[in-house]
Amino acid sequence: MGPEAQLTLDAMAADFVVDLSNVMRDDRLCGSRPVDLRRFLDLLAALVAYTGDEAVQVYAVADRSLLRQPGLTADEKATLRRWYERGRIEVRPGADDRLIELAETAELRVISRDNFEDAYREHPWIPGNRDRFLRFEPGPGGAGVVVVPRIMPTPPEWHISRKEEESRLLRAGMYDRRHATGARRDLLTRQWRCPRHDCPMFGGDAAVDQPVPVYRQGVVRCPTHHEPMADIGPSTPRVQLKVRIDGVSLARFMVRADAAVVVGRAPVEPGGVALAPWLTPSARNWISRRHVELSWDGTALAVRDLSANGTRIRREDTSETGRRIGAGRPWRLRKGEVIVLHEGVELVLSGRAFVFENPAQPPVPRGALAEEAATPTMIRRPRPR
Per the CB < 8 A criterion, the answer to whether 347 and 243 are in contact is yes
Given a cut of 80, whether residue 229 has pLDDT beyond it is: yes
- What is the structure's pLDDT at 179? 66
What residues does each domain of the chain span?
A: 3-149, 157-234, 238-378
- What is the structure's pLDDT at 32? 84
**Quick check: helix, strand or coil at residue 20?**
helix
Rounded Cα distance between 89 and 110, Å, is 15
The better pLDDT of the pair 376, 343 is held by 343
Measured from the Cβ of residue 217, the count of other Cβ atoms closer than 10 Å reads 7
> Could you give the angle at the alpha carbon of 368 between the alpha carbons of 363 and 369, nearest 5°?
75
Write down the mean pLDDT value for the chain: 88
For CA atoms 11, 15, 18, 20, give the dihedral sign.
negative
Give the helix/strand (H/E) hosting 273. strand 273-274
The better pLDDT of the pair 37, 250 is held by 37
The whole-number average pLDDT for the span 22-43 is 94
DSSP assignment letter at 239: E
- What is the structure's pLDDT at 369? 42
Give the helix/strand (H/E) hosting 307. none
Given a cut of 50, whether residue 367 has pLDDT beyond it is: no
Return the percent helix, strand and coil in the chain, to nearest 5: 25, 25, 50
Given a cut of 60, whether residue 370 has pLDDT beyond it is: no
Per the CB < 8 A criterion, the answer to whether 239 and 210 are in contact is no
Given a cut of 50, whether residue 7 has pLDDT beyond it is: yes
The residue among 35, 41, 1 whose CA lies nearest residue 18 is: 41
Per the CB < 8 A criterion, the answer to whether 305 and 328 are in contact is yes
Rounded Cα distance between 347 and 135, Å, is 36
Phi, psi of 341 (to 5 degrees): -90, -30
- What is the structure's pLDDT at 364? 47
With cut-offs at 50, 70 and 90, classify the pLDDT of residue 233.
Answer: very high
* Contacts made by residues 309-315, CB under 8 angstroms, sequence distance 24+: 311/339, 311/340, 311/341, 312/339, 312/340, 313/337, 313/338, 313/339, 313/340, 314/338, 314/340
Rounded Cα distance between 69 and 133, Å, is 27
pLDDT digits (tens, 9 = 90+) for 96-155: 999 999 999 999 999 999 999 989 989 999 999 999 999 999 999 888 999 999 999 988
By percentage, how much of the chain surpasses pLDDT 90?
65
Rounded Cα distance between 353 and 237, Å, is 9
Give the helix/strand (H/E) hosting 9. none
With cut-offs at 50, 70 and 90, classify the pLDDT of residue 384.
Answer: very low
With cut-offs at 50, 70 and 90, classify the pLDDT of residue 178.
Answer: low
**pTM, two decimal places:** 0.66
- What is the structure's pLDDT at 328? 83
Per the CB < 8 A criterion, the answer to whether 263 and 347 are in contact is yes
Instruction: State how beta strands 248-256 and 238-245 pair.
Output: antiparallel
Rounded Cα distance between 110 and 160, Å, is 20
Rounded Cα distance between 47 and 54, Å, is 9
Given a cut of 80, whether residue 262 has pLDDT beyond it is: yes
Q: What DSSP assignment string belongs to 35-94?
A: S-THHHHHHHHHHHHHHT-TT--EEEEEEGGGGG-TTS-HHHHHHHHHHHHTTSEEEES-
Given a cut of 60, whether residue 365 has pLDDT beyond it is: no
With cut-offs at 50, 70 and 90, classify the pLDDT of residue 358.
Answer: low
Per the CB < 8 A criterion, the answer to whether 289 and 367 are in contact is no
pLDDT digits (tens, 9 = 90+) for 288-343: 999 999 999 988 999 999 999 999 999 987 777 789 998 888 999 988 899 999 99
Rounded Cα distance between 18 and 153, Å, is 19
Given a cut of 90, whether residue 266 has pLDDT beyond it is: yes
Measured from the Cβ of residue 137, the count of other Cβ atoms closer than 10 Å reads 13
Q: What is the CATH number of domain 3-149?
A: 3.40.50.11980
> Could you give the angle at the alpha carbon of 170 between the alpha carbons of 165 and 174, nearest 5°?
90
Q: Thinking of the domain 238-378, which architecture would CATH place it in?
A: Sandwich (2.60)
**Quick check: helix, strand or coil at residue 164?**
helix
Rounded Cα distance between 15 and 87, Å, is 17
Per the CB < 8 A criterion, the answer to whether 97 and 105 are in contact is no
Given a cut of 50, whether residue 170 has pLDDT beyond it is: yes
The residue among 111, 117, 147, 146 whose CA lies nearest residue 21 is: 111
